[in-house]
Amino acid sequence: MEQPKNNGPLAGLKVLDLSIIVAGGTASSLMADFGAEVVKIERPKTGDPLRNWGPFYKDVSLWWKVHSRNKKSITLDLSKPKGQSILKRLANEADILIEGFRPGTMENWGVGPDELLAANPELIFVRYSGFGQTGPYKDRPGFGTIAECMSGYISMTGFPDSPPVLPPIPLADEIAGVFGAMSSMMALYHRQSKKYSGQGNTGQVIDVSLFEPLFRLCIPHITMANLLNLVRERVGNDFPDAAPRSLYQTLDQQWLGLSATSQNTWENLAEAMGMSEVIDDERFKDNAARLENKDALNVILQQYLGNLNLETIMENLIPAGGVVGPVYTAEQIMTDPHYAAREDIIELEDSELGNTKMLGIVPKFSRTPGSVDHAGPTIGAHNLKVYTEWLGLSPADISDLESEGTI
């Protein structure tokens, strides 16, 4: 069945994704959601290692199906000279190339930035690695887990009397993916600006490590350590810079998030709970006082919230400006009317999974919305289409390349 065409803001943009697993794939997935033609280059026969990540349905990785939606899959052995030659030709047709090999690998194959930008000066060359292309750690192997540890983030997670806690998702990889997509758009804007100003079209290399994007989001901790000699420690569910903010258990054994980290929000919350006297309590009169006495404040809030069911709390506090919300599971998300109204969960037909639900498009564009046209493809599903349309190869040429193991 012919798939609908994505007419998002990146329609017409050509992206080659040579990366594996999550980080680079997140960047290209975001681009594909908004109309870019993303061609995923995979190893012949084995494909991207992400295909081996569980959970599986009908022996198919659900990670792959969601993460590689809207992408085309072709196979190409980059370790072979003929494969490298074909990559050069593909890169000449591309706007963006994303790779995730260890530093120096692309250069050793003769397809590094110098070679590819010499042939295509407009190319945006995005490089993912554990520790970046420079520095004493550049040759170390690196996955997102190590990036999370070395970014400073993990040292701040968990409770004071417990070990640090790793996130249950590949957080560093996914944040690096967002940074890679964002920086690619910056580079494209620069390229277009130069073009319109008559200075020529200028591509460039973007060096994205896995540890630095998450490090960048741990915003004040370096300056705090430098100026105050203050090292951020584990504080559980509290926020160390403003209070109250934590999780509380309700009478019906649900968990509720609450945040009142501005003075106005705090006063509205206290009024809505019928505890206006705490507004003038010296222990809670301003944010500094509330931080100093946050344990006592949490006890007061837990006593109030623990005597009411979740639904009652929401009905009482939200109309008065209380910033509260339930801790959701995936099942609860799928039945929530707001998620439905925002089209955050979509349904589509897939040849392997059948009818399935997955995440919708985020964010929402008013003029050029993105769309999900298909789930992640089978290995090499688009060899014929891409190699004929991009390079003008004949079906016989493609058959020969398949026979010799190049694709």
> Any idea which residues carry the catalytic annotation?
173
Calculate the alpha carbon distances from 234 to 174, 239, 242 in Å: 23, 10, 15
CB atoms closer than 10 angstroms to residue 5: 10
**Edge-to-edge order in the sheet of strand 72-75:** 72-75, 37-42, 14-17, 96-99, 124-129, 204-209
Residue in the structure block whose two tokens are 């392997």: 352
Round to whole Å and give the CA distance between 108 and 102.
11
In total, the chain counts a number of residues equal to 407
